[in-house]
Structure 1
Amino acid sequence: MPGVMVVNNGGPEIEGKTTIYVVVSAIMAAFGGLMFGYDNGIAGGVTSMDDFLEKFFPDVYQKKQIVQENNYCKYANQKLQLFTSSLYLAALFFSFVASRICTKHGRRLTMRLASIFFLAGALLDAFALNIEMLIIGRILLGVGVGFANQAVPLFLSEIAPAKIRGSLNVLFQLCVTIGILVANLVNYAERTSTLMDGG
């Protein structure tokens, strides 16, 4: 595989070349960090949107209209907390599962599974009709995040030539940060649009 450092038995290390294939592969793999960053940033904005609360958490929506001083009183709802935390709990648990899959079946398969789980979770949340669908979607997103967080940094380390390994490894963290930024921009745009509409 291009970019992999090979160690001869007792001989000198042979460094792989930095090729376009290696760099593009690293950038594409690092996009797995966008999933975690985006999901990390988007939940706070979504759970404060009136349309979302009115449809899925009407009691929280009512509290929000009445209680203006204390955010805890507004959002004190176990199902809402489960909606938010389910992704993180699933990501934590399934990162251990992904570790075994990475070892047995490789990084590429694990990253493909991450993409499938993430896509399934995103579709389920996008078309959710009730709280249960929302939470299951968030759990699937968490599974995808757990798989990606386990496989992507390993994949990047393995394909990167030694002289640019640090640069390629940091792409994952960069993509996480970009995902958080995009999520906050989406939240800001939605909030601005709501205020302009008089909401």
Structure 2
Amino acid sequence: WGLMWRKMEVGMNCFSPTQVIEEFFNQTWKEQFQEPMSLHALTMLWSFTVSTLVLGATVSALTVGIVADHYGRRNSILIANSLYLMAVAFMGVSKIAGSLEALIVGRFLIGLFCGLNMTLIPLYIQEISPTRVHGAFSTMNQLSQTVGIFIGQVKSWPWTRITTIIST
């Protein structure tokens, strides 16, 4: 059952808290360069940072077949999970170290995780589940991603990161 709810992490990581990221960029920029970031530079940097998640997801979704055939389904899922843990570390360190680059790398790694997870989990579920429940298991898997997106979009829920860590 736990495997079917793994995609909740994908949904929860797809949102981008604009205000939080922009404040972090402004604060970090001021600390590094002793001047505020221009609005244009802030918009460009924020856009690039947000889009790195999609770029990572695209890259990994396009290469998932190669990864799954080479390492096997289960090991590929473990690789995806290690990417997730590395991403969390990069994004956590970005705040402590005041590093814009670490946040960008972390979002790219989350994207790699999302692309692998979105394709590997349904494949693995279909291969290990009994034929009579394939449809139900696939539906639960997609439902978990939708629930994750819902949770990720609700800004007032501070525990979204806690549920991600618990399910990992």
TM-score, normalised with respect to structure 2 = 0.77
- Aligned residue runs from structure 1 range 116-131, under 5 A: 116-128=82-94, 129-131=98-100
Counterpart in the other structure of 2:77: 111
Instruction: Provide, for residues 70-106 of structure 1, a one-character-per-residue CA deviation record: whole Å limited to 9, x for no partner.
Output: xxx8997111011111011111111222211112221
> How many positions carry a matched residue from both structures?
147
CA contact (8 A) 1:98 1:151 kept: yes
Structure label with greater radius of gyration: 1
- Looking at structure 1, the residues matched to 60 and 26 of structure 2 have their Cα atoms a distance apart, in angstroms, of 28
Aligned: 1:173 with 2:147: no
- Looking at structure 2, the residues matched to 54 and 93 of structure 1 have their Cα atoms a distance apart, in angstroms, of 29
Which residue among 30, 45, 52 is the counterpart of 2:4?
A: 30
- Looking at structure 2, the residues matched to 48 and 88 of structure 1 have their Cα atoms a distance apart, in angstroms, of 19
Q: Any idea what SS the aligned residue of 2:19 has?
A: coil
- Looking at structure 1, the residues matched to 128 and 157 of structure 2 have their Cα atoms a distance apart, in angstroms, of 38
- Looking at structure 1, the residues matched to 139 and 41 of structure 2 have their Cα atoms a distance apart, in angstroms, of 36
Q: Which has the higher contact order (CA 8 A, sep 6+)?
A: 2
Structure 1 residues without counterparts, runs of 5 or longer: 1-26, 64-72, 191-199
Aligned: 1:55 with 2:24: yes
- Looking at structure 2, the residues matched to 141 and 181 of structure 1 have their Cα atoms a distance apart, in angstroms, of 18
CA contact (8 A) 1:33 1:176 kept: yes
Task: Supply the AA of the counterpart residue of 2:146.
Answer: T
Q: 1:157 to 1:75 in 2, by over 3 A?
A: farther
Q: Any idea what SS the aligned residue of 1:29 has?
A: helix
Which residue among 61, 73, 82 is the counterpart of 1:95?
A: 61
CA contact (8 A) 1:153 1:172 kept: yes
Poorly superposed stretches of 4+, deviation over 4 Å: 73-76
Counterpart in the other structure of 1:7: none
TM-score, normalised with respect to structure 1 = 0.66
Q: 1:56 to 1:95 in 2, by over 3 A?
A: same
Structure 2 residues without counterparts, runs of 5 or longer: 30-35, 159-168
What percentage of aligned pairs have identical amino acids?
22
Instruction: Provide, for residues 140-163 of structure 1, a one-character-per-residue CA deviation record: whole Å limited to 9, x for no partner.
Output: 111111111121010011112121
Counterpart in the other structure of 1:160: 129
Aligned: 1:82 with 2:19: no
Aligned: 1:151 with 2:120: yes
Which protein has the bigger helix share?
2
Following superposition, the deviation at residue 135 of structure 1 comes to 0.3
Q: 1:31 to 1:57 in 2, by over 3 A?
A: farther
Q: 1:33 to 1:189 in 2, by over 3 A?
A: closer
- Looking at structure 2, the residues matched to 147 and 189 of structure 1 have their Cα atoms a distance apart, in angstroms, of 26
